[in-house]
Amino acid sequence: MGRATANKFAAEGAKVIIADFDEINGQEAVSEIKARNEEANFFKVDVSNYEQVSALVEYAIETYGTLDVIWNNAGISGTSPLLDTNVPNYLNTVGINQFGVAYGIFAASKRMVELGVKGVIINTASVFGILASENHFAYGASKAAVESMTKTAALELAPHGIRVVGVTPGTVNTAILKDVLAMGLGDQLKSYHMRNNIIEPSDIANVIAFLASEESNVINGTIIKVDDGWTSFKSHMILPDVAGGDLA
């Protein structure tokens, strides 16, 4: 999702900093953008470390002179049965998915206020922060926290003209799904969405670009469900084909 969105932003004229713990992947994304004569740079960061996130923000400002948008999107699945979850793996999941978002909010908002920038902070939550699901104790907790932080940050930063919004993706066609798809669970994943398909990263990128733009100026403190209806229904109801449309 991050790669698709970086490409989308760059194509629309934004100057992009791609931040990732995976330097090879990040540099590949930058090369992809620069090959089209668009602007991008890479910064290696561990989002569970506040000093590194703060350094990322400073790098963006030093490189381009300002900071208009930050998307706190880094995350890991961190799935495991509750009874198998221990403190270290719980803290690892929360450290990246929750603390990483908090650190991005802290660092970006402080500098936006200092620079007088009426910027946009976008956070990635998840449908699992809304719905209970087996094996998602730590992951669900971290993503539910993202929703709460988004709303509170929006309220406190509104006087400074800074908007804070979030997205809750459904099942997106990213590398994290490879193992699940290899298990033959593709049809099940598709069934979670109203139109019975897995969401493409470019679909998420389009929403993020909109939320960062002036066209979404009145969207603030809101969590946008980019899940093709997942959280609006529990399961499909299979009805018999009854003549006249009536059910006895």
Q: Give the amino acid at 10.
A: A
Helix (H, G, I), strand (E, B) or coil at 42: strand
Nearest to 16 by CA among 34, 41, 36: 41
Catalytic positions: 139
Tokens 């900071």 belong to residue: 67
The helix (run of H) or strand (run of E) holding residue 163 is strand 163-169
The closest of 51, 64, 45, 42 to 117, measured between CA atoms, is: 64
Please state, in angstroms and rounded to a whole number, the distance separating the CA atoms of residues 30 and 38.
9
Measure the CA–CA gap between 214 and 199, rounded to whole angstroms: 25
Sign of the dihedral through C-alpha 3, 73, 115, 53: negative
The CA distance from 56 to 64, in Å, is: 12
